[in-house]
Amino acid sequence: MFGFIRPVKDELRVREVHRFQEVYCGLCHAIRARYGRFHTFFLSYDMTFFALVLGCTETDGAREKRRCDASPIRPRAACFGCAAIDRAADVSVLLNYHKLRDSVRDESGPRRLAAGILLRLAGPGYRRAARRLPEADREIAGCIDELAALEAAGCDSIDRAADPTARLLAAAVPPTGDARERILRQLFYHTGRWVYLIDACQDLAGDLAHGGYNPVALRFGLVRADLSAAREALERTLERSLADICTAFDLLGAQRDAGLIENIIWLGLPTVTRQVLDGTYQMNGGRMRHGSL
């Protein structure tokens, strides 16, 4: 994933800060235990959000202190035994692998070589994840291929271009066949759509400089990294997805972490939207440290 989904720390209670870190660390431990150390390097706050939302209507999981590579001396509290975290670990590996596969197809020169090496290293873990979640793997692979075809065709519709990524994240929801599944798929569909469009806005300068595909540039005829002419239209379409995310979460009836998730949805996502459109966004809040909140 891309790392845009994060809470606004100053508006969190102390226990919510600790809870977010516990889920983040629990997800890292789950990925390492199930797939090895290599895949933990792709851990993101986006997948932490995925685990929090999946688990907000459940009551499983326990808190335990353990050492890790990031904290080898002082044990850190982490969440264990949670089905939502295990699902997020599996999905994270699938997404990382298919993202690398897409990079090998799209990049050239040293970047393509690097992506190819990483893809080979990711292979064993991916095959285990694909055996655990074969249907999700097929859907994710299909969405990635569909997006590649739209990029190759130079699609200038931001809705069509965002749809595969939106469906990709919705495909990661556990298939339960009930109302909860439908609500979660709607929530993550619009989360994926928002992430794709925000990423396109953030990558505008680089894509224009290197001739890369960018649906925002094509849709609004942008020839330089200035979103001012398209800002009003982009705000409307991004706010539409944010509203649908909020509506879906309200329907879930969260039993835990409601305040933390609401902080991310109602404060974190709008803050990132404003910063990206203003040109003031900094990855990981400017901290550039693994796991810093």
Q: Give the whole-angstrom CA distance, residue 58 versus residue 86.
A: 13
Give the pTM: 0.93
For 202-241, what is each residue's pLDDT tens digit? 999 999 998 999 999 999 999 999 999 999 999 999 999 9
At 69 the pLDDT is: 84
Return the number of other C-beta atoms located less than 10 Å from residue 30's C-beta: 24
* Predicted confidence (pLDDT) at residue 291 exceeds the cutoff of 90: no
At 2 the pLDDT is: 66
- Look up tokens 């850190």; give the residue: 76
Q: What's the distance, Cα to Cα, between the start and end of the chain in Å?
A: 17
For 110-166, what is each residue's pLDDT tens digit? 989 999 999 999 999 999 999 999 999 999 999 999 999 999 999 999 999 999 999
- Look up tokens 């939302």; give the residue: 53
* Predicted confidence (pLDDT) at residue 14 exceeds the cutoff of 70: yes
pLDDT-derived band at 284, boundaries 50, 70, 90:
low
* Predicted confidence (pLDDT) at residue 292 exceeds the cutoff of 60: no
At 189 the pLDDT is: 98
Mean pLDDT for 190-204 is 97
Q: Give the whole-angstrom CA distance, residue 187 versus residue 168.
A: 12
Report percent pLDDT > 90 for the chain. 86
At 288 the pLDDT is: 44
Q: Give the whole-angstrom CA distance, residue 146 versus residue 166.
A: 12
Q: Give the whole-angstrom CA distance, residue 16 versus residue 157.
A: 39
pLDDT-derived band at 70, boundaries 50, 70, 90:
confident
At 161 the pLDDT is: 97
At 90 the pLDDT is: 98
Mean pLDDT computed over every residue of the chain: 93
Return the number of other C-beta atoms located less than 10 Å from residue 288's C-beta: 9
At 61 the pLDDT is: 81
Of 20, 80, 83, 74, residue with least CA distance to 54: 83
At 59 the pLDDT is: 82
Q: Give the whole-angstrom CA distance, residue 189 versus residue 123.
A: 27
* Predicted confidence (pLDDT) at residue 289 exceeds the cutoff of 80: no
